[in-house]
Amino acid sequence: MLLGPSVRPIFTPPWNRCTLSTAECLVELGFRVLSRDSSAGELVLPGLAELPITFDWFAKRKGELLSRAQRGDLLAQRIASTRTVGIMLHHALMDADELVAWRDLLCLLCNHRHARVSRMSAVAHLAT
């Protein structure tokens, strides 16, 4: 990789979508993991594992951001329906209040006996 060993070989494309051609280029460039929205469909490409995003922190319903309670309900649904939940954050939208909410969620998950919070690089081997 051009940026050296401190950068993980994980790619998250803009708007969480990319084409098969992009994925093929990623493999050529040494990327080993692609993380994008699960609704984009799986790209079956040898040498490139996928870690799908299944929960959007800034999800909207009818054009309006979900409330904290609605987010919690949606996240609970995702957790109940899949082994691994990938959460997408939008760095440009993460203000102080959102950072507090994110911290609260991480504390809850880290202290829950049935949950495990992991870095993407730590669960890449679970990717299908």
**Contact yes or no for 7/33 (Cβ under 8 A):** no
Burial of 96 by CB count in 10 Å (0-12 exposed, 13-18 middle, 19+ buried)?
exposed
From first to last of its 128 residues, what are the pLDDT tens digits of the chain?
A: 566 777 788 899 887 888 899 999 999 998 999 999 988 888 889 989 999 899 999 999 999 999 989 999 999 999 899 878 999 998 889 999 999 999 999 999 999 998 888 888 887 776 65
Answer whether 0.85 is exceeded by the pTM. Answer: no
